[in-house]
């Protein structure tokens, strides 16, 4: 039985508590939040869980095996470092840390202490994203052309991070998993419309070694909610609409065909191919349930999580570079990866 | 009665012939196309229209008052210059010319010859775009935050121009009309996926002096057709979906509110305001009909067209700068406007 | 403080427990269910609520003021009668009873015991339905032409009632509230596709004294979920789509106009009028929260609920007549109302 | 070369003229319409087609092989009888005739004169309807449960027929082709909202020998346009949405499963099965083009058309019975078929 402690009982914490309470092999021993009224709410629902406003109570509790961190980004590094240092396994909200440097230090410390470090890239555990991964990996899309995502709505302003760190982080974690490719350069444009607040609208392009390209549109000030990703390949194309209730993934048997024209000296003829559309049935297990189970198993079996610290750090690297480009109106910035796969 | 000659009877030419045949005050006297089989088709439908494969037959025909040019972009400049020189009024397809330099020379020549030069920015004459212009101009959106458009589908590759010149030209002409603002810089990223072919996917950002920002996503290789523009202001926001049959324009009474929080020293509170949505009824006259009538009137009354050469040149300037940025992976390029309004 | 006891902790019971736990002025004292494992679940969440498998424990508990009944229809009458008889106020799930006769006896008993009897017609308390009521009552639709609803999906078969009693009951309760009219006749057709099971597909027509007509389509075996109601009037028309997240109600300024043609002797000219569409913002309070509060207030102040026993009985009358017509392949059956309003 | 004459150049006639002008093996020799201004329009486009206001000019013209009738329903019988009598093959708009008796007499006369009699059930020739036919015939839906269609919008009032004859005729012709089954009884309810005008809203149920059921909802006074058909089987289900541009047919791998419960004496357990959704690519040939070609071939080869007089008469039989039921508020009326297939 893995005993977990949760730090942060705001928006996401209650979901962690519910899932780790119900997953076989784990139980929630204690919850920490700085706002006592949240802890009152918790106790009304879960009277057996201990509560505290001081995270040290969790670190020093020898019965606690793992710490789940669901606080604002700026506090992730400090809380996670202390938890690892105290010998706890850690599951931290995305983005993993506020800077690349913090991420690198956290990875080192987790390795040194031999603790499991996992990042809560929840979407990676959804049926929809897993299906896209499968379609890409089995070559059903053919050679990849582009990855294009839109994630906009009238959303809560985050005061400590810009819209890329709040919204694009989801899409970058999905792309990292589905494409398994590292951008060689990024360029981002964006704007802040409220004085003194972070940028609320941004567009991010990722370049790759191949002629694959990725683009992300995120916006806190849109009148309608859109959650749509297009992935284009030369054999098939995907539309992933997360707002669809039952047909989130549509696979289009469409593409282009290339033929030499009558007069080969002059031009290649570009033709269009159209076919069936297909919406595969998706696994309906709640993503966080699957993820919670995975975290528990990784601890029990000493395995590396699917969304480990390396993955978390890759996403932070892109966010950091994008934020730099954003300040320079889209000037492209090179990305360097050690042992990069693509 | 204005006699018009049409050069180019491919995709768009038949629409010009139909409209100028039916608009009061004009008639189609002659049509020129290099492919004789197209002229055979024309004569089956319009036996009284003269046909030719040589544009000079139109220039030298003294009974012809105006020339409509519906040919590939690369030929616009040459055909339009000769027409103006021959004393004809000219309506030319978008983009007006293939370069800024061509555009400047064409404007000079049209001014010198005192001929009407109009660019066929058809969308400007639709009920939907006119309604957006009205909403912006009367201040109903408040201060403008952003203009975001998506125009993608599995579309015909153009061999002579990239996807910006083919698709974004529509959106730039709409933006020019609706916002009446000049970008101070542009940044564009994109990719060619078919060897030897122009870029088929592009993202363009336009920066302005204010904290307004515009972004355009165009793609010839998308599995689904999207024609959607969001315009955000601090009072209201618009969603313009050109694929909707009857509710193309939706106006959202949504926005943000700013309040000083309890502790003014620390932060401004950002709140959200939500209200009704409203889809105004739109004029249903065919855009090209309204535009044809406007061209005829401008000739008759010696007026400046709504989409004159200046407008056409502004759009070409942005396309040219965007194409340069595209080649540099999004490096922002400054735009300079004489007598700019914004 | 109103103490409530809940009978039935299956699909709907948990929602009642949650709401009556949180509404000011009420608390949940005890829950009864025949399946002990459900009570275990309850106690994990609400350790202070008493549990029992015997409803008599609730009837005889003098501290309990009101009983909420969320069990299958067949048990409603018996449970509600005993509760009223024991001096409890009652909130019963829809349909109120399994027969008109039961409904009449329950109303008599509630009146005799001077207890509040309320039926859980939840939709009546939604922002969407309240907005429709307002639009109809203030005459904004003009004279009413029709009410048409579709409620279909691949749904749970009910073993004890046909699809009308399970699904159309929602729409009849909405119609009763919004139109405030009594049908003068009903005709229903339908079919059972699974041997030994109730009818899973049905179409119900309600006739009225005026030239208003209502129609209901319900189906447990549809591949897609539809929740759509059209209400047509001579001035405006409503589309109510309950699956829309934020624009559930759309009001169309459309209708027909009647003019005498040139030759009045022969025919009336029917014209069409088209105008704006408008989606009013709706109250977002959870319907069951508003309803719970209303029940508590009715008890405290001795008021008649909006969805009282009379309303519940009207809906049961239509369901009973419709079921008779269903057995006769749509033969129309007259409805008789005492003191009917329409 | 089949020479055709067209009677009626209103809404549909121009489509017939265009298609029979372009189909190989046919040409349009003459067009008749009572309104001379329509003939002027025709001649502007097709100067070589003869025009007349008198249908006798077509009957007596020996060079004309076939007559296409695109006039109001009330005139179909008279015009078609005279055409057949004059030795012409006939293609008549739907509904074939205004009564069953007329239909029977027309069939007899066509048989006697050995002329091809075809009814213009255009939808039968669309890619979408042909795909549904294929799915049903090859057993992919399994045993059929229901056929449900909705065809509503703010539409043109027909002064001579009610909304069933104007709109449901499309769906009845589709159902006749796709299901190849004859209803054993019909029941229809509906209403007229404009004094002196035919019923503008109607609901029609068709009963069959099996536990298949069909239902049709048609309405001239709806605020939105809906063209949707659901076909449910025990193996798969279809949603046919004719307003979709590219995915008109969606096939759902959904259904119910039946298992004996633990205690077989008491009940059959109904389970749900869910799977992929699939939108097959459809043939994109214009339906009327395919139909025109078929008519020409039937004449040339002496074949029976797919939508022959028998088919047209079956649809008229249902419309006539439905109209009788409509007048009796849904009283079910038996249908009797000679040599019925289902």
Same structural domain for residues B84 and B226?
no
> What mean pLDDT, rounded, does chain A reach?
93
Same structural domain for residues A110 and A167?
no
Tens-digit pLDDT profile for residues C12-21: 999 999 999 9
Tens-digit pLDDT profile for residues C254-284: 988 876 655 544 555 677 888 999 999 999 8
Lowest mean pLDDT among A20-34, B46-60, B67-81, D152-166: D152-166
Same structural domain for residues A102 and A141?
no
Nearest CA-CA partner of B122 in B84, B157, B171, B65? B171
Task: Report CB contact under 8 Å: A192, B211.
Answer: yes
What's the DSSP call for residue D330? T
Same structural domain for residues D329 and D190?
yes
Q: What pLDDT is recorded for position C265?
A: 47
Q: Would you say residue A10 lies in a domain?
A: yes
Q: What pLDDT is recorded for position B341?
A: 46
Lowest mean pLDDT among A254-263, B193-202, D269-278: A254-263
**Is residue A46's pLDDT more than 90?**
no
**Is residue D262's pLDDT more than 90?**
no
Q: Would you say residue B341 lies in a domain?
A: no
Residue C226's domain comprises: 127-284+318-334
Q: What pLDDT is recorded for position D269?
A: 65
Number of compact structural domains in chain D: 2
Q: What pLDDT is recorded for position B139?
A: 96
Q: Which residue has the tokens 């042909």?
A: D130
> For C276, which of B253, B274, B280 is closest by C-beta distance?
B280
> What mean pLDDT, rounded, does chain C reach?
93
Q: Place D156 in a pLDDT band, splitting at 50, 70 and 90.
A: confident
Residue B187 and residue B330 in contact, taking contact as beta carbons nearer than 8 Å: yes
Please state the pTM of the whole predicted model.
0.94
Average pLDDT over residues A310-329: 97
Tens-digit pLDDT profile for residues C180-201: 999 999 999 999 998 888 999 9
**Alpha-carbon gap: A125 to the closest alpha carbon of chain C (Å):** 25
Same structural domain for residues B326 and B208?
yes
Torsion, Cα of B324, B327, B331, B335 (10° steps):
10
**Is residue A159's pLDDT more than 80?**
no
* Among candidate residues C115, C136, C164, the one where a domain is terminated: C115
> For D270, which of C197, C217, C252 is closest by C-beta distance?
C197
Same structural domain for residues A245 and A322?
yes
Distances (CA, A) of D341 to C176, D234, D310: 44, 21, 13
Spatial CB neighbours of C322, under 8 Å, sequence gap ≥ 6: C164, C168, C186, C188, C202, C204
CATH number of domain containing A34: 3.40.50.720
Same structural domain for residues A14 and A162?
no
pLDDT over 70, % of chain D = 96
Residue B141 and residue B235 in contact, taking contact as beta carbons nearer than 8 Å: yes
Q: Place D47 in a pLDDT band, splitting at 50, 70 and 90.
A: confident
Q: Would you say residue B304 lies in a domain?
A: no
Task: Report CB contact under 8 Å: D222, C234.
Answer: no
> For D47, which of B47, B225, B245 is closest by C-beta distance?
B47
Q: Would you say residue B241 lies in a domain?
A: yes
Distance in angstroms between the alpha carbons of the first and the last residue of chain D? 40
Q: What pLDDT is recorded for position C338?
A: 77
Same structural domain for residues C104 and C160?
no
Same structural domain for residues A59 and A163?
no
What's the DSSP call for residue A251? E
A contact set with C (CB within 8 A): 45, 47, 225, 245
Nearest CA in chain A to C46: A45
Structure tokens at B301: 């009354």
Query: How far is C-alpha A151 from the chain's CA centre?
Result: 13
Q: Would you say residue A312 lies in a domain?
A: no
In whole angstroms, give the CA distance from residue A227 to residue A242.
Answer: 5
Residue A292 burial by Cβ neighbours in a 10 Å radius (0-12, 13-18, 19+): buried
Tens-digit pLDDT profile for residues A201-217: 999 999 999 989 999 99
Nearest CA-CA partner of A133 in A81, A98, A179? A179
**Is residue B58's pLDDT more than 70?**
yes
Task: Report CB contact under 8 Å: A45, C45.
Answer: yes
**Is residue A269's pLDDT more than 90?**
no
Q: Place D46 in a pLDDT band, splitting at 50, 70 and 90.
A: confident
In whole angstroms, give the CA distance from residue B223 to residue A148.
Answer: 12
> What mean pLDDT, rounded, does chain D reach?
93
Same structural domain for residues A29 and A89?
yes
Q: What pLDDT is recorded for position B265?
A: 47
Average pLDDT over residues D65-85: 97
Average pLDDT over residues B241-270: 77
CATH number of domain containing C274: 3.30.360.10
Task: Report CB contact under 8 Å: C256, D230.
Answer: no
Q: What pLDDT is recorded for position C257?
A: 80
Structure tokens at B158: 């153009």
Q: Would you say residue C300 lies in a domain?
A: no
Beta pairing, strands C144-154 & C213-219 = parallel
Q: Place D258 in a pLDDT band, splitting at 50, 70 and 90.
A: confident
**Is residue B266's pLDDT more than 60?**
no
Q: Would you say residue C323 lies in a domain?
A: yes
> For A159, which of B194, B250, B267 is closest by C-beta distance?
B267
Residues of B in contact with D47 (CB under 8 A): 47
Q: What pLDDT is recorded for position C158?
A: 74
Q: Would you say residue B292 lies in a domain?
A: no
State which residues of chain C have pLDDT below 50: 264-265, 340-342
Neighbours of chain A (3+ CB pairs under 8 A): B, C, D
In whole angstroms, give the CA distance from residue C16 to residue C70.
Answer: 9
Nearest CA-CA partner of B186 in B161, B168, B166? B168
Tens-digit pLDDT profile for residues D207-220: 999 989 999 999 99
Regarding predicted confidence, which is higher, C285 or B265?
C285
Same structural domain for residues C219 and C95?
no
Same structural domain for residues C78 and C177?
no
* Among candidate residues B85, B115, B145, the one where a domain is terminated: B115
């Amino acid at each position: 039985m893995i005993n977990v402690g949760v730090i942060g009982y705001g928006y996401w914490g209650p979901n962690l508590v519910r899932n780790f309470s119900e997953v076989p092999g784990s139980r929630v021993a204690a919850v920490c939040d700085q706002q006592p009224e949240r802890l009152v709410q918790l106790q009304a629902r879960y009277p057996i869980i201990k509560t505290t406003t001081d995270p040290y109570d969790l670190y020093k509790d020898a019965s606690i095996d793992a710490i789940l961190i669901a606080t604002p980004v700026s506090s992730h590094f400090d809380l996670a470092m202390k938890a690892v240092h105290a010998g706890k396994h850690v599951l931290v909200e995305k983005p993993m840390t506020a800077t690349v440097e913090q991420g690198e230090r956290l990875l080192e410390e987790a390795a040194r202490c031999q603790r499991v470090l996992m990042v809560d890239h929840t979407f990676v555990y959804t049926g929809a994203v897993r299906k896209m991964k499968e379609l890409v990996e089995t070559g059903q899309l053919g050679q990849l052309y582009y990855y294009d995502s839109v994630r906009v709505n009238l959303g809560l302003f985050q005061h400590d991070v810009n819209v890329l760190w709040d919204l694009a982080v989801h899409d970058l974690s999905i792309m990292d998993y589905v494409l398994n490719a590292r951008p060689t350069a990024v360029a981002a444009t964006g704007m802040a419309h409220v004085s003194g607040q972070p940028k609320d609208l941004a567009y991010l392009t990722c370049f790759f070694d191949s002629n694959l390209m990725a683009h992300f549109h995120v916006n806190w000030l849109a009148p309608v909610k859109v959650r749509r990703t297009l992935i284009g390949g030369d054999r098939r194309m995907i539309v992933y609409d997360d707002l669809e209730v039952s047909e989130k993934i549509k696979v289009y048997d469409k593409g282009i065909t290339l033929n030499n024209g009558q007069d080969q000296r002059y031009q290649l003829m570009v033709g269009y191919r159209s076919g069936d559309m297909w919406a595969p049935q998706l696994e309906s297990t709640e993503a966080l349930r699957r993820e919670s189970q995975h975290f528990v198993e990784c601890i029990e079996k000493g395995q590396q999580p699917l969304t480990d610290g390396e993955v978390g750090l890759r996403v932070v690297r892109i966010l950091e570079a994008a934020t730099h480009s954003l300040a320079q109106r889209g000037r492209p910035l090179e990305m360097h990866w050690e042992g990069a796969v693509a």
